[in-house]
Structure 1
Amino acid sequence: MPNRIVRYAFCTLLGLIVSAAPLAPAIAAPARIKDIVDMEGIRENQLVGYGLVVGLNGTGDSLNNSPFTKQSLQSMLERLGVNTAGENVRTANVAAVMVTANLPPFGTQGSRIDVSVAALGDSDSLQGGTLLVTPLLGADGEVYAIAQGPVLINGFKAEGDAATVISGVPTTGRISSGALIEREIEFSLGAQHSLRLALRNPDLTTARRIAMAVNDFIGAPTAVPEDPATVRLTLPANFNGNIVDLLTDVEQLVVQTDQPAKIVIDENSGIIVMGQDVRVSSVAVAQSNLTVTIAENPQIVQPEPLSGGQTAVQPSTNLNVNQTDSALQVLNQSVTLQQLVDGLNALGISPRDLIAILQAIKATGALQAEIEVL
């Protein structure tokens, strides 16, 4: 019986301690390793090329204003056996374009990729055009793909004698599966014995958690965090398989990500984004609104009869200045992001004024977060 009383008293005391303790901060959502890192060697490569789009219905480049289009057209015709030297070529159905594409990792020869097309000259629209054979070059100057095909645009332009209607951007387009890969990038992933994982959001805590999760799963010191953005994987000697098997197992592991307290501000659009770990100490805030209204009310002044004067317009301006002062408002110390947002909303200010207030709070040292202005 006494033991039951002691156990009951202990449980009651423990319940009081737990209920009196402050709430723990919110924990970031768990994520798979494959969703938060990039693996060394598994990446896209950007390609670019210059080409001609033909078949436009009079919406192509004006050859007099786009000499590069005229030179490209004449050069193409000469390669096809048509001599245009010294001739005055006039056509509005051709446009010079830049063609871009992303070569996917491990893209094999003969497979197809999508390409984007953008007008280079003064073409009005690429609607109905067809891209001629265009080599796509990599950063090393080598040709990795060949693009050709009909261009699909996401807009249109309709023009009349007195009005013009434009929807979207008719001078850009896309060709689905419009390029054939001609050259592969040499990289043997299976032959690697060591590989680096690059964190998309560098953080020391997250890098250490990734290494711990991998080592616990493998049962050997396989992963080592080198810096906030890099975790190195080494193929264990007793691992039955190659690095591909190791990556397949590792990328499915779930870890708790961490992030620094940060506020991102876009002053042009008035957008404010706060991280969940942003905290603020107790501060007092006051804000003054100044509104200036200017209205023009011109008056028509008529001359006296038989005076020989003329009707005139006399300017008249109404100027109104309104200033509203608000008392000091206390912004209490926040424990969670929701409490911080509630405290800021209680001030009843606009997002643009809130930007200035956050920067002022940061200057006082009461804001425990980094502010990044876009």
Structure 2
Amino acid sequence: MMISLVVHVVIFTKTSYHNPRQQKYPTVTCKHRQHNHERKTMRDDFTLETKIQLAKRVSYHCSFPGCGSLTVGPSDESEKSTSSVGTACHISAASEGKGARRYDANLSPEERKHISNGIWMCDKHGKLIDTDETRFSTELLKTWKELAENVASFMVQKGYDYQTALKLLEGKKLANNDVTIEQTGTENEKIGNLITDSCISIVWGKQISDAIRDYLIEHFRNSFGHGNATSFEIIINENKITISDNGTEFNPQQLIENEEKTGGTIAIKNLLLQHSDKLIFTTQRNGDSNRTIITILDNADAIFSITPCSVQLTFEEFHYGNSTITISKDCNEFYIVLPPYFALSDVRFMPKKFPQFDRTGKSLVFIVEHISDGVQTLLRENYPECRIIGIK
């Protein structure tokens, strides 16, 4: 009797699958570059289920800030085939070696392949984060992952598209990041990457983000070109940008009065005049360094941890007056936290109760929660050069 043997061969490609029962969701692992002598190194790869969960938790959108590319869709190969440009990347590398980025020897194999060590990216950005472990730190990627999952939650719960959901992240914390620049010629790229990676455009809005980037580049050039600085540092921490340089003493806000259309003058005007109702911008000389802080307050009391050039007024002080308030000559600007729900008659009594505000010679910034347009108008009539920051 003759027996016939038939062998079936199923071929899988990287991005599409011909056997839908065996592979429901197309996923790709973000593999760090390996040299020939490293290919036998054991990798703590994600399981298929982990890859699928990473993708689902961001609704199959890329987690790179502002990208949001959809990473899965139909394939032309058949009615059942799907195609993916998505990548399940390790935050801390799956194995050690020259090409491995962010490898942490203290992690166990189970921790290394756990879903908490993964982030979902499009193919383009998956490759990008493997090129520079200094720029793309573990802490940074974990923040990106959290923000991307928040966006996906808004999309699912509220039915928003990606761009609409992205705007709802305004008010969240920035991704901690920093950069030190010690020579000219690299400032545009380094500062631009810093602003992008810290998610400022997402959390504070694109217009403010662009204005801050423009200003920081000009601030650096002025520090090196006119202030003889040799070091320039930017630290971004949660909701605050701190800029330090070791150049000669200078207050950038002096440029607002400059009529010359230099890059620095235009940048500071765009930043402060267009966003004066949101941004805190304070400058001080600390030892041999200039220090500038840019932030958006989420509550009025936060100003006291940012600058000593600040005071809080209570309704009781408005009733009796407070002549003990003094403004230091070292303050370039002075921040005054007014009581919530400040009223029109309160503004009328200010010049009488606090005459020192009229003769200060400093830039006054009033910070108040729940302020009406009418109160703001009257404040500006009493103090024409003031800024008003309203907190909802």
TM over 0.5: no
**Which one has more relative contact order, counting CA pairs under 8 Å at least 6 apart?**
1
Structure 1 or 2: more helix by fraction: 2
> Which TM-score applies when normalising by structure 2?
0.25
> Which TM-score applies when normalising by structure 1?
0.26
- Choose 1 or 2 for highest CA Rg: 1
